[in-house]
Chains A and B, each alone.
Chain A
Amino acid sequence: MKVLATYNIKGGVGKTATAVNLSYLAAREGASTLVWDLDPQGAASFYFRIKPKIKGGGKRLVAGKRELEDSIRGTDYEGLDLLPADFSYRNMDLFLEHTKKPERRLHQLLEPLAGEYDYVFLDCPPSISLVSENVFYAADAVLVPTIPTPLSLRTFRQIRKFLAGTDPDSLKVLPFFAMADRRKQLHRAIVDNPPDYMTGLLRTSIPYTSEVERMGVFRAPLGSFAGRSWAAQCYENLWADVKQQLHEPYGTAPV
């Protein structure tokens, strides 16, 4: 089982779209896949038309009083399941603090699922917190969608810095450019000449297109309603990049 997190401190950069589209592609290839919507806003749950509600709330789930398995819902797509969000996740840090090894709790909760899923996508809320520390501990790779603007690059540097302190050796940090707008000179310049500190940068950039936004209208992954669109093609390329990175030793990503 490979655990992939879509993460950024910034909101609105395409974390959920990435988790939803890549998990859809993984399942379409036959991999048994789970998305855990960790964001109390419940956007991933919304995309899959599943109520953002956990029976008993997040507290019981984190405490281990309720099996993860019982809260999992099948999506409309074969092989793709979702563990929905719950509004109580806004207090996730508090729930985690009450457990034994607080920064390893998510990892522990996911362990029993190893026999069942090939991929688990963790769709993270935008913040740096105990939840993010848990995510870094549990994940094999963190996908960081980054808008090609100076402010976003600065955020990425902050993430790197933060990870340098906590980063387990095996964690792969895989940034990629998202919402890249070829019409903007600044975007083009950054995408074409990414800064040196973006090691592990994935080859594929996700363009800024209206199709991605229409996912919210269709409430479905891009591949299911606009499979031939350019954006869908980009997600397919991105997924191929990610898979390649997962099977390669860290530090060999093309820059």
Chain B
Amino acid sequence: MLAFGAAPAAADTATFQHPAGPASHAMDDIYRAVLGVTMTIFVLVGGWLLYSALRFRVKRGDPDIEPPQVHGSTRLELGWTLAPVLVLVALSAYTLANVGTVKDAPGNAMVVNVKAQQFSFTYLYGANSGASGKAPSTPSRLVVPVHTPVKLYVRSIDVNHDWWVPALGPKIDAIPGQTNTDWFEADETGTFTGQCAEFCGLGHATMTITVKVVSKADWNAYTAKLQRT
């Protein structure tokens, strides 16, 4: 009855994409805590439901006796009101303890301005980047150095979009008329992909994001080249 239809049994498919930075690690930690607690609740309460359904079902030949007409139990009901309160308070507290890492960029973060429009994201380097005012060599591919906090100022010039690279950190809406901020720090080099997560029209599915994380040496060479152009 309660079988998970086609449960992704393998643990690594039932979790976040491989987190590659402090923000995404913090999110992943909260995710794992909530997953552990909710799975425990599901197994316990689901097990209770299943047991009750099987144990108390009428079987052929059972005597036709009316079961005890119990109308409730104040003590039990108070108990199962308070127990979820405690669980949820604990989960909220754990979440709040980790919020800072998810949301707040360190003060020395390099700044990248993100411009969203139908159907691409383009970038412009800002303060602390060493290439202030310059766009990446491919304007729709963001290049950043490894182990460096990156603060994004996200704007849109037409409709709502959302900048999301799952491995790097939280998503953030790009909404015309306002500037939203987001941050990430990649702790390994490589290419990370994502795509627009807020429905933005016909090309929504094609609005991809590519972030190339390079070593600090490569980054210095890259910015030097950008400065020359």
Q: Do A and B come from one complex?
A: no
- Seen from chain B, the residues whose Cβ lies within 8 Å of a Cβ on chain A are none
